[in-house]
A and B are shown apart, each in its own frame.
Chain A
Amino acid sequence: MNLSLLAILPLVTAIMIILLKGTKSVRIISLISSTLQLLLAFALLYFYWNERAMGDSAPMLFEDNYTWYAPLHINYHVGVDGISIAMILLTAFVVLAGVLVSWNIGQLNKEFFFLLLLLSVGAYGFFISIDLFTLFFFLEIAVIPKFLLIGIWGSGKKEYSAMKLALMLMAGSALVFVGLIGLYLNTNAGNGQHTFDILQIAQMNIPLPAQKLFFPFAFVGFGIFGALFPFHTWVPDGHSSAPTAASMFLAGISMKLGGYGCLRVATYLMPDAAHQYSWIIIVLASIAILYGAFATMMQTDLKYINAYSSVSHCGFVLLGIGMLTKTAITGAVMQMVSHGLMTALFFAGIGMIYDRTHTRQLSQLGGLLKIMPFISTVFVIAGLCSLGLPGFSGFVAEVTVFMGGWSRADNFYRIATIIACASIVVTAVYILRAVGKAIMGPLASKDYSLLTDAKWNEKWAAALLVIGIVAIGIAPFWLNDLVTPATETIINKISAIIK
């Protein structure tokens, strides 16, 4: 299967959209394209299982390698393993849901869909890249559209938020770039040649001083994308100012670029440094988890609630990576997928409520279940998944991280795990409070009784994400089986060092 299709399809659609005229055709083309992307992602999953079933145990499947710029050994090199496929599936789900939710976007709808699709080009390209330069290239493609999406279609102090998000992510990219170049200059592919190729670098042993110098650049750089404390402050402002679909893309896909980069680039390629710095990662992740949860408790704006809770939930991803055990890293990947789906659903639900009531303030909401049962149910499902109720994906992912963390028989790791577990109680407090205020109780305003429930596009978007959440929640083994061989490759490199 040709992986590049995943990036080419949204790119071609984006170009088509620019050339098209009329709101209707733009929407329909975007919908067709994002549906095809989802089908393509499932086809990829199918072909991947087939290859693996036939005994192909190569670390990356469906590789394509073209020379891009020979003097600097820059290649367009793509390939996938289980982790990438999990992320690609997540992207496909969120893109389709995002397009559906944006169906009735009023102003500049052509430009809006163009940017959404461009963002998905960046995300797909990032997840299939196994050349560091190509990976970085796609990471940058995914940053620029966010600035415009928030700055143009946002709400509230959108210019401030767009600028803040773009500057902080650019700073993250700059750090990543330093890390990648440092890594590149310390590779030795024979005859003093350097390489950007992830598979080749994984076979080498990067000198320890270089690892110790460049790991922080790469990890913190990607960490900024993945809401690493204390560089998470773009998250609340960025998410709450963004239009619904952009919030979904931001939290659902963009933040995962960070987690994936921390794992695939920083941890995988510089395992000695990852091992030495793991305690710092764990400390920062534990702070993010608990402190993010407490900060969420005091928020009064629904979007701020979900944005801060994303800081807390993405802490689980970094905690799982920092624990450096197979189970914990598998849990981290599961949490990325789970949080991506759940937070997209949450933002979709909040967007639907905001479109109708024109407020996101908890104090002005109440009793919505009576007049919009579908939207309210979506909201409750997202909330229950967020607080880790069994049956939904959040529970599976978090428990896997806890198990992996606890398996490190050392008080430090166990205390971190206990702190992370404790955050679930805090999560329950803010989720149940938000649900109780907004959904239950008496109707907050008489005008609300005139509001209508979800339209077809909103129903499909929500249903899609709920299917994903429940599929992982009820039958987590398929995701586990998909991800585990890939985490094994990463962990084998690390466990050789730990022992």
Chain B
Amino acid sequence: MSMKIPLIILAIGTILVGFIPFSNFISSDGKGFVSEMHLTFSIVPVAIALIGILIAYSLYFRQSDRPQKLAASLGGLYKTAHRKFYIDEIYLFVTKKIIFNLVGRPAAWIDRNIVDGTMNGIAWTTGRISVLVKGVQSGRVQSYALYFFGGIVVLVILFLYVLK
């Protein structure tokens, strides 16, 4: 009984909920959406539902071996329907195998190794250049004198032979 009461309440709600003008609440001007009755769209789904109920009634209302026989005769079709047309399997395959492995994993790898690698590469290059260049600032006067004379030689050559 205790399980029936919630069901009864929900059943009543299900029937009555259609009378609440929800569309009035969600439109910006407070007017409801105007919907027309299309007989095709009303009759066909209800008919399909009724046929389903009839089939279920004839198969399962009294215990019999008819469902088993029918299932056996339908073979693959029955199995496919029983496994919900493999929608879950397809979904899991697409997400877990294809999207995770072929899109997500490469994206994460590219980000860590190529995009971030480039950033780290810039930092590394800056560091290397600094290591290479810092020797110039040795504090040894002899070296500075050498650079000084080297510079003069370069300038002399430049002025005498290149820019004459």
Q: Which residues of A contact B (CB under 8 A)?
A: 164, 167-168, 229-234, 236, 291, 294-295, 297-299, 308, 426, 429
**Distance of A290 from chain B, by nearest CB (Å):** 9
Name the one of A164, A295, A426 contacting B111, with C-beta atoms under 8 angstroms.
A295
What does the 1/0 interface line of B93-118 toward A look like (CB < 8 Å)? Answer: 00100011001110110010001101
Name the one of B99, B105, B119 contacting A233, with C-beta atoms under 8 angstroms.
B119
Whole-angstrom distance between the alpha carbons of A291 and B115 in the complex? 12
- Chain B residues whose C-beta falls within 8 Å of the C-beta of A229 in the assembled complex: 115
Q: Which residues of B contact A (CB under 8 A)?
A: 95, 99-100, 103-105, 107-108, 111, 115-116, 118-119, 123
Whole-angstrom distance between the alpha carbons of A234 and B107 in the complex? 17
- The chain A residue sitting closest to B123, CB to CB, is A167
- Chain A residues whose C-beta falls within 8 Å of the C-beta of B99 in the assembled complex: 294, 297, 426, 429
Contact: A297 with B118, CB < 8 Å? no
Whole-angstrom distance between the alpha carbons of A17 and B35 in the complex? 66
Interface SS, A side: helix
21 contacts between A and B (CB under 8 A): A164-B119, A164-B123, A168-B119, A232-B115, A233-B115, A233-B116, A236-B111, A291-B107, A294-B99, A294-B103, A294-B104, A294-B108, A295-B104, A295-B107, A295-B108, A295-B111, A297-B99, A297-B100, A298-B105, A299-B108, A429-B95
- Chain A residues whose C-beta falls within 8 Å of the C-beta of B116 in the assembled complex: 233
Interface SS, B side: helix
Contact: A230 with B95, CB < 8 Å? no
Whole-angstrom distance between the alpha carbons of A291 and B116 in the complex? 14
- Chain B residues whose C-beta falls within 8 Å of the C-beta of A291 in the assembled complex: 107, 111
Contacts A167-B123, A291-B107 given: A298-B115 contact, CB under 8 Å?
A: no
- The chain A residue sitting closest to B100, CB to CB, is A297
- Chain A residues whose C-beta falls within 8 Å of the C-beta of B108 in the assembled complex: 294-295, 297-299
Whole-angstrom distance between the alpha carbons of A308 and B104 in the complex? 12
**Distance of B69 from chain A, by nearest CB (Å):** 41
Contact: B100 with A230, CB < 8 Å? no
- 9 closest A-B pairs by beta carbon, nearest first, are A298-B108, A294-B107, A297-B104, A233-B116, A295-B107, A295-B108, A298-B104, A294-B104, A230-B115
- The chain A residue sitting closest to B126, CB to CB, is A167
- Chain B residues whose C-beta falls within 8 Å of the C-beta of A232 in the assembled complex: 115
- The chain B residue sitting closest to A233, CB to CB, is B116
Whole-angstrom distance between the alpha carbons of A230 and B122 in the complex? 13
Residue from B107, B118, B123 having most chain A Cβ neighbours under 10 A: B107
**Distance of A347 from chain B, by nearest CB (Å):** 20
**Distance of A157 from chain B, by nearest CB (Å):** 12
- The chain A residue sitting closest to B117, CB to CB, is A233
Name the one of B95, B107, B119 contacting A298, with C-beta atoms under 8 angstroms.
B107
Whole-angstrom distance between the alpha carbons of A164 and B103 in the complex? 27
- Chain B residues whose C-beta falls within 8 Å of the C-beta of A230 in the assembled complex: 115, 118
Whole-angstrom distance between the alpha carbons of A297 and B99 in the complex? 10
Contact: B118 with A298, CB < 8 Å? no
Whole-angstrom distance between the alpha carbons of A491 and B6 in the complex? 55
